[in-house]
Every structure is written in structure tokens, then in C-alpha cells.
Amino acid sequence: MSSFTINQTRSEAHFERYMFRSLIPAIVIVPIWVAVGRTLFGGPGGWNGLVYMYTVCPILFFLHILLLYLCIQENNKQSSASGFTDYSISRPMSIALISYYILLFFNQFVMDDGGDQGPMGSWAVDHLRISRGLSNDLHGVSGAASLALMILMISLSCWGFTLVEQMDDSTTGGTSMMDALVAQEPDF
């Protein structure tokens, strides 16, 4: 094995550990960002922020705690980690998580907010001069995609696909989780 491959494998493992560690601050940061993120960059603040603070944010808080719990449980089941600092999630889970963070960040820039005088537009409407209709469409798509990614990550966690698969199956007794799934014959 070349040194490039070894270094690449180590950096991939670090990325997956860092993505696991990002779950801890995300429990608090993501709900706060969803409630007030758009106003931090000069976007309009209105009633939607208050509505989100009391409806969406508690749900996000619970979902992030659930996701962290499931990932910790899966790491404990596999007991391949020597300590909490060695816990990680799989590469697909890491990609889904970073995509989720990017969508939530983007969502705040296209979220139309309103006050007592009606809709005030979004940050993108005010600063990028895009139409309110396009901004609303982008908000709907990014919101639905972020919800779908959260459901996907929780589903993957429930099914045990959160851990990094071993590159050398001889250390795990010659079989990996994916080998067991691939080896199953469909019943017709």
C-alpha cells in the first residue's frame, strides 16, 4: 500500500470523526440558526422567526438528539471505537450530514418573512434582486430536501449504516455488514 493511500485513508477517517463530532454542537446551533439565521446577515425578521422558534426548532432539537443517540448506540454496538474520540459515521452519512448543513444555511437566505404589514421578502430578494416567487420556490425545495436528508440520516442510523466499514475484512472475521446484505438471496 502506498503512502498516498494510507494518508488518504487517515484523512477520510478524520473527516468522518469530525462529522460525528459536528452532531454535538448542531443540537443547539441548528435550531438557533433556523430561528434567527436570516437576520444575522441583514435579512428581514418577522413573525416566521417566532413561529419557527416555537414549532420547528423544538422538533429539530429533538431530531438532532435522536440522531446523535442513534450514532452513539451504533458505535457502542460495534465497539470498534476505543473511546468517544474515535467515534465516527460512515462516508455516505457524512456526505448526507454536510449536505443537510448546507441546505439549512442556504434556506435562511431564501426564506420569505413577514410582519404586520405583510410579506417583507427574503435576503435573496433584497440583496440579490431575485423575484419573490423564485425565492419562495427555492425555500420550499431546500426545506423539503433538508427534511428528506434528516429522515434519511435517521433511517440509516436505525439500520446501522452509520459506521465506517472496515477496509480489511480479515479484522472483522472475514465478513462485513455489507457482505451480509449482498449475500442474501431474494425470496420469490
pLDDT for res 9: 52
Backbone angles phi, psi at 113, to 5 degrees: -120, 160
pLDDT for res 7: 42
Which helix (H) or strand (E) segment is 120 a member of?
strand 118-121
Predicted structure pTM score: 0.74
Would you call 121 helix, strand, or coil by DSSP? strand
pLDDT for res 172: 46
pLDDT for res 75: 79
pLDDT for res 169: 42
pLDDT for res 91: 86
pLDDT for res 11: 60
- For the chain (188 residues), the mean pLDDT of every run of 10, in chain order, is 43 82 92 84 75 88 93 75 72 91 91 72 85 90 93 84 45 47 49
Would you call 60 helix, strand, or coil by DSSP? helix
Q: Which three cell numbers stand for residue 81?
A: 471505537
Residue with cell 439565521: 37
